Amino acid sequence: MDIKTVIRTIPNYPKDGVMFRDITTLWQDAAGLRTAIDQLVWPYAGVRIDKVAGIEARGFVLGGAIAHQLSVGFVPVRKQGKLPAATIGEEYDLEYGTDIVEIHEDAIKEGENILLVDDLIATGGTAEAAIKLIRRAGGTVVGAAFVIDLPDLGGRARVENMGVNVRTLCEFEGD
């Protein structure tokens, strides 16, 4: 099945000029969700993965399903102030201003292999911050998996320049 055909586009959301790629229409399609999870996971067959890290909020849905499929644990990468125990954080740039993502400081152990998961990569700023966090915690990022790539925004190259292998399932040009 063609994953791209079940991703809905909402023009001018959340603001004028943005073509919002809405993955909820893929999630609500049983075949679409199953296909996306299977296609994201199969390249990592035979690769040692100790945990999946998923980025808030849409990366939680996909990352949770992938962790289950791989029979490994899941680490939430959350926006600042949402995690209850001691955290480490990393700042990243937004279009206007900055934000911070955090993980629990005991979520990843030295030497663990981590697969990073999110729904979409745009500028790559969020993924870059998550990779820095995982590395600071002692983890090795063995791959970064996304359903959607917005290639015009350069995120894939940014993450690959950090030495991380990137897997994406479809591209939307012109964002």
Ligand X SMILES: O=P(O)(O)OC[C@H]1O[C@H](OP(=O)(O)OP(=O)(O)O)[C@H](O)[C@@H]1O
Q: Which is nearer to ligand X, 22 or 105 (CB)?
A: 22
Q: What are the structure tokens assigned to 169, written together?
A: 């399932």
Among the listed residues 21, 34, 56, 58, the single catalytic one is 58
Residues in the site for ligand X, rule: CB under 6 A?
55-58, 118-127, 155
55 interacts with, out of ligand ADE, ligand X, none, CB within 5 to 8 A per kind: ligand X
Q: State the Cα–Cα distance between residues 2 and 44, nearest whole angstrom.
A: 21
Least distance (Å) between residue 83 CB and ligand X? 14
Q: Tokens representing 31?
A: 């075949």
Over the window 113 to 142, marking each residue x when it contacts ligand ADE by CB under 6 A and - when it does not, the resulting string is -------x-x--------------------
Quote the least distance from Cβ 44 to ligand X, whole Å. Answer: 20
Helices 58-70 and 30-41: crossing angle in degrees, nearest 10, is 60
* Helix ranges, the chain (H): 24-27, 30-41, 58-70, 125-136, 155-160
**Closest by Cα among 133, 134, 124, 121 to 62:** 121
Per CB under 6 A, residues contacting ligand ADE are 18-21, 120, 122, 150, 175
